[in-house]
Structure 1
Amino acid sequence: MFVAVHVGAGKHSDAKWNGYKKLCKKACARGMDLLRSGVDSNKVVVEVSKILEDSPLTNAGTGSQLTVKGTVECDASIMDSNGSGMGIGSVSGVTHPTELALQCLDELQKPKHTSFGRTLPRLLNGQSGVDLTGHPTCQDEQLITKESLAVHLYWKDAIANQTEVVTTGDRDIDETIASKTDVIEDTVGVICFDLKTISVGSSSGGPTMKPCGRIGPAAILGSGIHVQSINSSSSDSPTTPTITACCASGHGETIMERHLASKCCTLVQTHQGNVDSALCDALGSSDPPYVGVMLTVVSPDYAELGYAFGTDSMILGYASERNSGVIAERKGSTTMRGAVIM
């Protein structure tokens, strides 16, 4: 059993660096508690995602970046190794978008939605998901934080006047604004294995000042998240991976253009299970895109966690019965690592 989380590939605030690390540790500990108690991987992904979505440190759920109109519109998705998956895009008034994605998946798998050969959808817009499930909603004010509003107002003024505001006088807010002066779309993600099924989830508020209705990779299966069975080229090899799962973060349009999560999973097979080689191939090393990925490979004998990023920083955590840890790194060049976690 294991759980792995990331709190985005982007440009993390120095002042909040330790806060991000503590958040990863808290989320992983909660995930392992649930796994030990027998909760299935999809539900663990949702419960761990709630911790990330509730934190004002992340761009997901509470504290999400605001649209050009100053509203909150979130994307989320969930997918598992049984072939099930659902994305929810541009949803308003939902504190836990990943939970809504799973509720939509569970509802649409019922016979009343699948009779007469009807195809299970893979993506719904936000209001459709709320209407389908009856999921409770809240006012935008409940999801907007002081800092997310400050960032929105900063960019609104800068765009209107074609100038940049130097400082607001509030250290915390100025630090947040400083961390948002590049294109940063710090989606969060969770990967979980309950010894039977691997599940992966993603959640994001998207980039600040995005147009209303924009749907990003956190809602798109194959782009923001992916789970794939790997065919062994050598069936008697004990180290050949069987399932790989990936979630991506960073510049959303790049992630979608490259179908990044799916590409990374496929490259693991291309490189015969070598995670570092697969990630290097996916991101390149000389001029990497402004994205990051977290990837796990699970075989009958081991589980390996890999990550790579071309952004300014990436922070992730993991926990299993074997070991646990938090990884928080700045970029020197494209950073890639692999570690056995189970």
Structure 2
Amino acid sequence: MKKLVFSIISCFLIMSCDMPVKKENSKEVENTIPADQKFGLVIHGGAGTILKKNMTDSLEKAYRLKLEEATKAGHKILADGGTSMEAVTAAINIMEDSPLFNAGKGAVFTHDGTNELDASVMDGKTLNAGAISGVTTVKNPIDLAVAVMDKSEHVMLSAKGAEQFAQEQGLEIVDPSYFYTERRFQSLQKIIDKEKTQLDHDDDKKVVFMDPYIKDSKFGTVGCAALDKYGNLAAGTSTGGMTNKRYNRIGDAPIIGSGTYANNATCAVSSTGWGEFFIRAQVAHDISAMMEYKGVTLQEAASEVIQKKVPALGGDGGIVAIDKDGNVAMEFNTAGMYRAHMNATGDLDIKIYKNN
């Protein structure tokens, strides 16, 4: 009997040694991708008075090609198993490096003839976020926003302090002249000339900051929202702000909840438009909150906020967003919005005007 028991135990031990051991903490387990998991991303290059009649064929082609390049760059990262935050950063980097958009290289000028850059990012899984404002020497502001999120205990840094942090993190620093583009500089001169004309006809000799000439000189902000194969959402926004802005004005782009928001329970959103109103309406967070508390779809929430709430305050602009199931919204109340979307199957959709 003892020999029988010993034999049984021995056989059990041998079999146990041959059985594969499941490593719960292994990279393979962590990166298991559900076969039916959806992923995708959506980008914008700003909303505003974008009309076909005012666009040359060559300029329209340039915009479409750059939107395609940015979208495909972010999508490739997602398709290869990268994170939503990596995809968002890659897509925005491409638009920041282009003079076509009001972000990075193509940033608009302040009243004093400088370029002040703002950006923000948010991780939908952790609800961690990073933002920067008023930087003048950081080549890619969105990278600095990511660094603030990942490598500091803060959410938002500004101006000289943010630039010092960027240097400490080894980010690319450039001379402010890098951001000069003749197109943006001439836009500033036109607005200043109109202000002088207004001043000459004003008995009180007073110029209102938010005058009608400035109102339509704020568009071009870039942004991206993405869903990766692991079900995580992320969003980011980058801008040069408003042409002719004074007093170190800050818009919605670097404000978490206004210009950027992401939450795995609902959606990821990036905004573009008249920042003062997007801040007051907390546009990006409001869309997420409506989905969470009212149980409405992403499209229903986006339409309610952009077509009703923001205009009711007097503002205009738009958003791009993607929800936890991969559904996309590209909603705006202006004449046009540079936008593009690519889903898990690789279908690419690029539009500029209301319908195309």
Which TM bucket (shorter chain)? 0.7 to 0.9
Alpha-carbon distance between aligned partners in 1 of 2:300 and 2:343, rounded to the nearest angstrom: 24
Structure 2: gaps (5+ residues): 1-38, 201-212
Alpha-carbon distance between aligned partners in 1 of 2:73 and 2:294, rounded to the nearest angstrom: 34
**C-alpha distance 40-68 of structure 1, shift in aligned 2 (>3 A):** same
Write the mapping of 1:37-52 to structure 2, written as runs, cut at 5 A: 37-52=80-95
CA deviations over 1:76-106 (Å, ceiling 9, x no partner): 0010112110110111112210011112222
SS of alignment partner, residue 57 of structure 1:
coil
CA contact (8 A) 2:273 2:316 kept: yes
- Of the two, which has the highest radius of gyration? 2
Residue in structure 1 matched with residue 280 of structure 2 by the alignment:
257
Residue in structure 2 matched with residue 206 of structure 1 by the alignment:
241
- Code of the residue aligned with 1:265 in structure 2: it is S
SS of alignment partner, residue 76 of structure 1:
strand
Where is the helix percentage greater, Structure 1 or Structure 2? 2
CA deviations over 1:185-229 (Å, ceiling 9, x no partner): 331101122222211100000110001422221111110011124
Residue in structure 2 matched with residue 115 of structure 1 by the alignment:
none
CA deviations over 1:4-35 (Å, ceiling 9, x no partner): 11111112351233322221111111112222
Alpha-carbon distance between aligned partners in 2 of 1:4 and 1:226, rounded to the nearest angstrom: 14
Residue in structure 1 matched with residue 155 of structure 2 by the alignment:
122
Query: Is structure 2 residue 184 aligned with structure 1 residue 151?
Result: no
- Code of the residue aligned with 1:11 in structure 2: it is T
Query: Is structure 2 residue 325 aligned with structure 1 residue 294?
Result: no
Alpha-carbon distance between aligned partners in 2 of 1:6 and 1:29, rounded to the nearest angstrom: 13
**Residue 329 of structure 1, CA deviation:** 4.7
CA contact (8 A) 2:271 2:283 kept: yes
Q: Percent identity?
A: 25
Alpha-carbon distance between aligned partners in 2 of 1:195 and 1:273, rounded to the nearest angstrom: 24
Counterpart of 1:227 (choices 244, 262, 269) is 262
Counterpart of 2:173 (choices 127, 137, 149) is 137
Counterpart of 2:306 (choices 283, 300, 306) is 283
Residue in structure 2 matched with residue 94 of structure 1 by the alignment:
138
Paired residues, number: 293
Alpha-carbon distance between aligned partners in 2 of 1:276 and 1:45, rounded to the nearest angstrom: 21
- Code of the residue aligned with 1:291 in structure 2: it is G
SS of alignment partner, residue 87 of structure 1:
strand
**C-alpha distance 189-307 of structure 1, shift in aligned 2 (>3 A):** same
Residue in structure 1 matched with residue 349 of structure 2 by the alignment:
326
SS of alignment partner, residue 58 of structure 1:
coil
Residue in structure 2 matched with residue 182 of structure 1 by the alignment:
216
Residue in structure 2 matched with residue 117 of structure 1 by the alignment:
none
Alpha-carbon distance between aligned partners in 2 of 1:154 and 1:294, rounded to the nearest angstrom: 30
Residue in structure 1 matched with residue 116 of structure 2 by the alignment:
73
Residue in structure 2 matched with residue 105 of structure 1 by the alignment:
149
Structure 1: gaps (5+ residues): 109-119, 165-178, 231-242, 336-342
TM-score of the superposed pair, with normalisation by structure 1: 0.79
- Code of the residue aligned with 1:4 in structure 2: it is V
**Residue 285 of structure 1, CA deviation:** 5.1
Alpha-carbon distance between aligned partners in 2 of 1:146 and 1:248, rounded to the nearest angstrom: 26
**C-alpha distance 252-285 of structure 1, shift in aligned 2 (>3 A):** closer
Write the mapping of 1:264-279 to structure 2, written as runs, cut at 5 A: 264-279=287-302
**Residue 52 of structure 1, CA deviation:** 0.4
Alpha-carbon distance between aligned partners in 2 of 1:130 and 1:217, rounded to the nearest angstrom: 20
**C-alpha distance 212-50 of structure 1, shift in aligned 2 (>3 A):** farther
Alpha-carbon distance between aligned partners in 2 of 1:73 and 1:319, rounded to the nearest angstrom: 31
- Code of the residue aligned with 2:165 in structure 1: it is L
Where is the strand percentage greater, Structure 1 or Structure 2? 1
Alpha-carbon distance between aligned partners in 2 of 1:144 and 1:17, rounded to the nearest angstrom: 22
Query: Is structure 2 residue 25 aligned with structure 1 residue 2?
Result: no
Alpha-carbon distance between aligned partners in 2 of 1:159 and 1:103, rounded to the nearest angstrom: 39
SS of alignment partner, residue 154 of structure 2:
coil
Alpha-carbon distance between aligned partners in 2 of 1:160 and 1:214, rounded to the nearest angstrom: 21
Counterpart of 1:14 (choices 41, 46, 55) is 55
CA contact (8 A) 1:315 1:326 kept: no
Counterpart of 1:29 (choices 65, 72, 78) is 72
Alpha-carbon distance between aligned partners in 2 of 1:295 and 1:34, rounded to the nearest angstrom: 18
SS of alignment partner, residue 276 of structure 1:
helix
- Code of the residue aligned with 2:87 in structure 1: it is V
- Code of the residue aligned with 1:79 in structure 2: it is M
SS of alignment partner, residue 248 of structure 1:
strand
SS of alignment partner, residue 131 of structure 2:
strand
